[in-house]
Amino acid sequence: MEFESNYEIAPTADFIHTNNFTRVALQFPDELLKDSVRVVSALRAKLRSLRKPSADLTDDVPEVSLFVMADTAYGSCCVDEVGASHVDADCVVHYGHTCLSPTTTLPAFFVFGKAPISVPDCVNNLSHYALENRRRVLVLFGLDYAHSIQHIKEEFVQACGVGFKPEVQYANVMCSVMNPSKDRKLSNELPGPAGSLTDDTSFGTTSSVTYSIGGLVWKVPEGRKMEDYLLFWIGSNNSAFANIVLTYNGCEIVRYDASECSMVTDLSQQRRILKRRYYLMEKAKDANIVGILVGTLGVAGYLSMIHQMKELITGAGKKVYTLVMGRPNPAKLANFPECDVFIYVSCAQTALLDSKEYLAPVITPFEAMIAFNRGCEWTGAYVMEFRDLVSSSPVDIRIQSEEARFSFIQGGYVEDFHLQGNGTEEDKEGALALANATEKALQLRDNPSSVVKGTAKSGAEFLATRSYQGLDIHYETSFPEPYFMGRSGRAAGYKDEKNGEEKL
């Protein structure tokens, strides 16, 4: 029964049966793949028991086909709609850690799992920090601990007694069932909380502002800011927590590690990430060739974000290429040495890549907007969700100044704006622009004495400046190289070698 409760077999089967789905894709992360066979067996048994009453009425009830998906092309936290479409699935059941990014074509049912936690120890640490700081506390948590929040809330009320009661607010889980987004460009609608898991009505009918991040949603009354709250995170130090630290870097944050039953208050290592990201933004300003990495094919609004990035980069006078390669790694990106920087368009929890191992920086769309918008300064605020950028920060195509700017990386003034032709309609066409650049590169190759001045502005120009350009035919001489006869025989003894008997 514990296994069925952890994987929510009954609610999953009810979701499939109620919506009359006949082809269901079950998406497992690598760490849960070992339980996939038991999950499929339990689901089939439960679905058969649900089909028996309806089978008495009609014999046309189809059998439900279950497909296990593993090794997703992108982050396992996102719904793999591309993989599900290969089996023509009607819906996806997602198991394990998730970012709850909206889907575009298929409905999804999320099973977060139930991680073990010591509720009394967690309540003890929560009450200690709430009473010690005398501040408003906002409790955020990993989705695998959502099952215990109601128990924590009840025990916390009992622990406070009749004395001073600190103001503690709990976030809600955004949803456990997600339907395809109607507006694929924005899709910023917030579904209602999953049941009344952590419903908090202490503010009554007071007008409030809604916040959401990583599948959690909460309301803050007007007149208050997030900086007024002490953020109490329940969970591990994973990508969801890094998202919290970067987004609300102005708040005081503590973390309760449920697996170790300990408090972590030193977040200096996580906050150093902001310094690293600022360095990458400054480095991206000196880039001439930019590659856009498509990190998702299922999150709603990703196409709009890619088009917005293209307009931004082109308006800054830089060359842009779009690359689709699944999960990026240093070896894959090393095949594109002409790109000075990469922009990774993905969900918020997979957007940050440790680019120390990469030959070129890998930045987020938010960092690209700061780097490629002349005169735009970073105020310290950080946005991880690219859907928030699509809705709140439309690209402002302005006439870029041709004045030199100071580069902190090169330590001097640089001119980074170059006109892309004469502004004619023909030059604005991407195919024609690439053809012109290729023709220019071929002209450079025909004249070996010519030298390319400055840095390359396209992949074709970059290829022309390389000393090794692959196995190409050299046109300097019209005569072929002389050939000679190679060895014949076997590796044990070629014909031009002495055999083993003669050696003895």
Residues 6+ apart with CB under 8 A from 411: none
Region 233-248: mean pLDDT is 89
Domain assignments of the chain as residue spans, ordered by start: 3-51+62-111, 119-182+207-265, 279-396+405-413
CATH superfamily of 3-51+62-111: Diphthamide synthesis DPH1/DPH2 domain 1 (3.40.50.11840)
Structure tokens at 82: 């591309």
- Asked if the domains at 119-182+207-265 and 279-396+405-413 fall in one CATH topology, the answer is yes
Among the ranges given (194-208, 276-290, 331-345), the one the predictor scored with the smallest mean pLDDT: 194-208
- CA-wise closest residue to 100 among 190, 8, 186: 190
The span from the CA of 495 to the CA of 488, in Å, is 6
Q: Which CATH number fits domain 119-182+207-265: 2.40.110.10, 3.40.47.40, 3.40.50.11850, 3.40.50.261?
A: 3.40.50.11850
> What's the count of helices (H) and strands (E) in the chain, helices before strands?
16, 21
pLDDT of residue 116: 92
d(CA 305, CA 363): 14
The pLDDT of residue 420 is above 80 = no
Q: Given this model, what pLDDT does residue 419 score? A: 41
How far apart CA 305 and CA 381 sit, in angstroms, is: 20
- CATH for 279-396+405-413 (3.40.50.11860, 3.40.640.10, 3.90.1150.10, 3.40.50.1980): 3.40.50.11860
DSSP string for residues in 306-360? HHHHHHHHHHTT-EEEEE--SS--HHHHTT-TT-SEEEEE--TTT----GGGSSS
How many CB atoms are located within 10 Å of the residue 242 CB?
A: 17
List Cβ neighbours of 101 (8 Å cut-off, separation of 6 or more). 77, 78, 79, 296, 298, 299, 300, 347, 348
Give the separation between CA 28 and CA 35, rounded to whole angstroms: 9
Give the span between the Cα atoms of 169 and 220, in whole angstroms: 9
Longest dimension (CA), the chain: 103
**DSSP-based three-state secondary structure for 153:** helix
Per-residue pLDDT tens over the stretch 373-391: 877 777 778 888 887 776 5
Strands lying side by side in the sheet with 262-264: 168-170, 136-141, 229-234, 252-257, 262-264
Residue whose token pair is 């100071």: 406
Most confident listed range (21-30, 236-245, 469-478): 21-30
What is the average per-residue pLDDT within 426-432? Answer: 48
Q: Is the pLDDT of residue 452 over 50?
A: no
Write the pLDDT tens digit of every residue in 155-203. 988 887 666 678 889 999 988 898 886 654 444 444 444 433 444 444 4
What pLDDT is stored for residue 401 in this prediction? 54
Q: Which of 104, 92, 93, 99 is nearest to 76 (CA)?
A: 99
* Nearest-angstrom CA–CA distance, 263 and 234: 10
User: What are 219's strand-pairing partners?
Assistant: 210
Tell me if residue 23 falls in helix, strand or coil: strand
Dihedral over Cα of 419, 423, 429, 433: its sign: negative
Mode of pairing for the β-strands spanning 341-345 and 252-257: unpaired
